[in-house]
Homo-oligomer: A and B are copies of this chain.
Amino acid sequence: MSTGGDALLKEELDIVIPTIRNLDFLEMWRPFLQPYHLIIVQDGDPSKVIKVPDGFDYELYNRNDINRLLGPRASCISFKDSACRCFGYMVSKKKYIFTIDDDCFVAKDPSGEKINALAQHIKNLLSPSTPFFFNTLYDPYREGADFVRGYPFSLREGVATAVSHGLWLNIPDYDAPTQLVKPLERNTRFVDAVLTIPKGTLFPMCGMNLAFNRELIGPAMYFGLMGDGQPIGRYDDMWAGWCVKVICDHLGLGVKTGLPYIWHSKASNPFVNLKKEYKGIFWQEEIIPFFQSATLPKDCTTVQKCYMELSKQVKDKLGKVDPYFSKLAEAMVTWIEAWDELNPSAQAGVAAANGPVKGK
């Protein structure tokens, strides 16, 4: 196992971790993740000191840092919810992001080998996607696979991949009702596949084990308003996934799901989850048809333009479902303003200059 110089995309990728506790889980990931730079987003009490294992290169932002860096626009970053992780996407200056939860451990493949999740995400992101036609042998770019008979040759170049969505062994990503009904269910099935989610199809994007091309889709990776002061939680990554998929479909970008697996160690409390989720369980019945029928005009040629247009449609159509969505639509605009402020084109290092806690 390598810990050093041959780490893929070492200079072009940041790892974003939202947390409220010491990052002991990184010990297990050391062989795979130590070469990379970490952006830690500390949730909750900013006076708490988060310990990061020695040897990791990191910057850490707590709520005070977020408020200082964004000023009044800090309102768009959730508090007391892992949705705060998207702040890390905004302050990164790298091309790629891998985000992982601190209860995710290294999984093993069926042969017993430890899975380098990040290496697989990078493979997924660096090879094209095929959103316009389904390949029955899954990822046609993988070694030992190809396009099958009947696959149009004009579509075999594929399109750029914006998102790589990884999965979880052990504790599956279930909602509270399913957790309550199946408290003992564990995911033991290792499905050795990566596939492109077809154009026009929405999916439930989980933020636990996720990588994306920040240059291609970053401004759409907003995790919404969740947690403290909000009527809902645990829909942060779902919201981002729905927005991202609609925009990827519009811009002709690819979204992949499947490998890599991580080992999800601990089920969250289903009673607490139910409290956070229950409005979402109603609302998603209206949100999903909204996103399924959402179309973006042709002049939306950048992610920012697409996202601003989507925020208008959210206000107009979902605002009727609950006033929360009007607030969320405004936060979507604030998010883009903050993103653009921290990421002026062809200029980097704005956030870094403001000095978060740095490690190593």
Chain B residues whose CB sits within 8 angstroms of the CB of A199 once the complex forms: 200-201
What sequence of 0s and 1s flags, for each residue 137-149 of chain A, a beta carbon within 8 Å of any chain B beta carbon? 1100000111111
Q: Is A191 an interface residue (CB 8 A)?
A: yes
CA distance A248 to B174 in the complex (A): 29
Question: Could you tell me which residues of chain A, from 132 to 176, have a CB within 8 Å of some CB in chain B?
Answer: 133-138, 144-154, 165, 167, 172-175
User: CA separation between A151 and B281, bound complex, in Å?
Assistant: 9
A150's partner among B147, B167, B185, B284 (CB-CB below 8 A) is B284
CA distance A125 to B150 in the complex (A): 24
Q: Which of B110, B187, B198, B277 contacts A137 (CB 8 A)?
A: B187
Could you tell me the distance between the alpha carbons of A144 and B284 in the complex, rounded to whole angstroms?
A: 25
Smallest beta-carbon distance A148→chain B, Å: 5
- Residue A197 at the B interface, CB < 8 A? yes
A205 nearest CB across to chain B (Å): 8
Partner of A146, one of B185, B192, B205, B288: B185
Q: B189 contacts A149, CB within 8 Å?
A: no
Across the interface, name the chain B residue whose C-beta is closest to A203. Answer: B134
Q: Is A85 an interface position by the 8 A CB rule?
A: no
Chain B residue numbers with a CB within 8 Å of A204 are 133-136, 148-151
Which candidate, A13-21, A88-96, A234-242, A295-303, is the interface stretch facing chain B?
A234-242
Minimum CB distance partner of A277 in chain B: B149
| A51 CB within 8 Å of chain B | no
The answer to the question of A266 belonging to the interface, with a C-beta cut-off of 8 Å to chain B, is no
Complex interface bits, A233-274 against B, C-beta within 8 A gives 1, otherwise 0: 011011001000000000000000100000000000000000
Q: Are A147 and B200 in contact (CB under 8 A)?
A: no
Confirm or deny: A193 has a beta carbon within 8 angstroms of a beta carbon on chain B.
yes
Contact A144 B201 (CB under 8 A): no
Q: Cβ of A136 and Cβ of B202 under 8 Å apart?
A: no
Would A145 and B201 count as touching, CB distance under 8 A? no
Tell me whether A150 and B198 are in contact (CB under 8 A): no
A178 at the interface (CB under 8 A from B): yes
Across-interface contacts of A97 in B (CB, < 8 A): none
Cβ contact of A165, chosen from B136, B238, B277, B288, cutoff 8 A = B136
Q: A136-B167, A238-B149 are in contact. Are A191 and B188 (CB under 8 A)?
A: no
A-B contact sample (5 more), CB < 8 A, given A134-B257, A135-B204, A148-B172? A134-B203, A136-B257, A146-B172, A149-B234, A201-B201
Top-7 shortest CB links A-B: A150-B204, A134-B203, A198-B201, A150-B238, A149-B175, A191-B193, A200-B200
